[in-house]
Amino acid sequence: MQFQQLKTFRLPKGFRGRSGIFVQCWWLTQTIFFKTSPQCMYAWRRFLLRCFGANIGKKVKIRPSVHVQFPWKVSIGDYSWIGDNVVLYSLGEITIGKNVVISQKSYLCTGSHNYADKNFSIFSMPITIEDSCWLATDVFVSPGIIIRNGTVVGARSSVFHSLPAGKICFGTPAVVIKNRPVPFTVNPLYRSLYETDEPFTRSESV
């Protein structure tokens, strides 16, 4: 039995959001100018992304090895960090808030295919990562997901359902493990008290 017939696949009109020529210009720019830029040239990479329609906030740090499929569908808030080899597969809209960390090798995937359709039709759904979230190493985020304010997703997790605010989440599929501790500032005079291999909570501070 033949479950899919790829010769009948058709990309929906306007799916990329820009003309084919514009898309090719971005992919050439990304290959020649973006990915070859020295690590320290964050402003240059912000400039290139903005030239192609991305909404990039102040002091955003994007590593040169990051892959952005369609920058005109990407928005990143002030002071966020996008780590090495992150893929922003922006077939649909990707919205990343302020002070967000997307760690190395994470993959934000806004598109997929309908496996029940013999034509293997493609679709996209937006991804939203709200302010102050941290996606640790090699996190996969599937289409249509919202990760709410301040939530942390542990390394190698896969997010197939939206996650609530202020949580520590882990696993495949990612589930809530516990609440994220209330943030506090460590006085530099006492920093050595916290530089230990043992876990601690706020209640253990002195």
pLDDT tens digits, 102-122: 999 999 999 999 999 999 999
86 and 66 Cβ atoms separated by less than 8 Å:
yes
DSSP state, 128? E
- Residue 25 within any structural domain of the chain: yes
50 and 56 Cβ atoms separated by less than 8 Å:
yes
Q: Which of 100, 88, 160 is nearest to 135 (CA)?
A: 100
pLDDT score, position 198: 47
Which pair of tokens denotes residue 170? 């882990």
- Residue 1 within any structural domain of the chain: no
Assign residue 67 the CATH number of its domain: 2.160.10.10
Q: Whole-prediction pTM value?
A: 0.88
| Domain count across the chain | 1
Q: What CA–CA distance (Å, rounded) separates 71 from 50?
A: 8
Q: CA 25, 31, 35: angle at the middle one, nearest 5? A: 130
Q: Quick one: what percent of the chain has pLDDT higher than 90?
A: 87
Average pLDDT on 4-23 reads 95
Residue 116, phi-psi category: left (phi > 0), alpha (psi -120 to 50), beta (remainder): alpha
- Residue 52 within any structural domain of the chain: yes
Range of the domain at 96: 6-204
pLDDT score, position 182: 82
Residue 199 predicted with pLDDT over 80: no
For residue 147, what pLDDT band results from cuts at 50, 70 and 90? very high
pLDDT tens-digit profile of 37-83? Answer: 999 999 999 999 999 999 999 999 999 999 999 999 999 999 999 99
- Residue 82 within any structural domain of the chain: yes
For residue 186, what pLDDT band results from cuts at 50, 70 and 90? low
Q: Which of 166, 181, 174 is nearest to 142 (CA)?
A: 174
Average pLDDT in the chain:
92
